Structures are given as structure tokens and as C-alpha cells.
Amino acid sequence: MGYRSLSTDMKNRAMELLNDEWTEIEVAEVFGVSVRSLRRWEDNFAVKGEVSPRSVLRGHPRILDAAVMEDLWVLIEESPALYLDEIVDYLAVVHEIHISIIALHNNLQALGLTSGNKSIVRIVFCINTEESE
């Protein structure tokens, strides 16, 4: 039997047939799946209430958690003239979080702290005269 992806509806129907006293072999033949797949769906349903539970691993983990975002909100309200590189330094020292300026900007946008060309935080990158020389 090759790999075959079934929709959640079809998996639920297979579980119904098993409950209607069909044998695992009969259901496996009808749906073109292995008995092992049927057992896995039964286990998922028994443990999680679904034949195809959602993966807990969705997307990338957040760099800044809710507590850090709240701290940033307070920091920016107190000092709205901070540059992004200053906030990056603050996060590194206070929270031991290393984040790029771009990622910080994206997180601030998600908080609603930046909009278009105007910003509560100045989106001007500091260029040290020492670095430019």
C-alpha cells in the first residue's frame, strides 16, 4: 500500500464503520489504508478526541514572549524617542534576548507601535561615526 492521504471526514467515516462492527481488515481494504493507520486514528481519537489532531508545532517559536512585549510597550511609552538599536541593546542586557533590528521592527509592528512612515519608535538606524570610518 502506497502513501495515501485521507481527509478527516473519511477518517471519521472509517471510525464509524469500525463502531458498526466492521473488521479492521475490511475497513482498511475499503479505504485503501493499512490496519496500522486505522489503529493510529483510533488512538488519536481516544486520546485527543480527533482522528487527525493538529500539530502542536506550528510555525516558529516567538522570540519575544508576552512579558517582554509588555515590558517593551512600557519602555516605549516612557521613552518614545528610542532608536531601534537602543531597544535591541536593552533586550540583550535586561532580558538576554538577541534579536535583529528587522525582527524587532516586525514585532513592534505587530504590537501596533509602528505604522507606515510614522512611528512611535524612530525607525532611523544609528550610524556611528566610528563604524563609517
Query: Which residues, 6 or more positions from 24, have their beta carbon under 8 angstroms from its beta carbon?
Result: 18, 35, 38, 39
* 96-113 confidence digits (pLDDT tens): 999 999 999 888 887 777
In this structure, are residues 111 and 69 in contact, taking their beta carbons and an 8 Å threshold?
Answer: yes
Positions in the chain whose pLDDT score sits under 70:
1-4, 56-57, 114-133
In this structure, are residues 125 and 84 in contact, taking their beta carbons and an 8 Å threshold?
Answer: yes
pTM greater than 0.75: no
Q: How far apart are the first and last CA of the chain?
A: 66
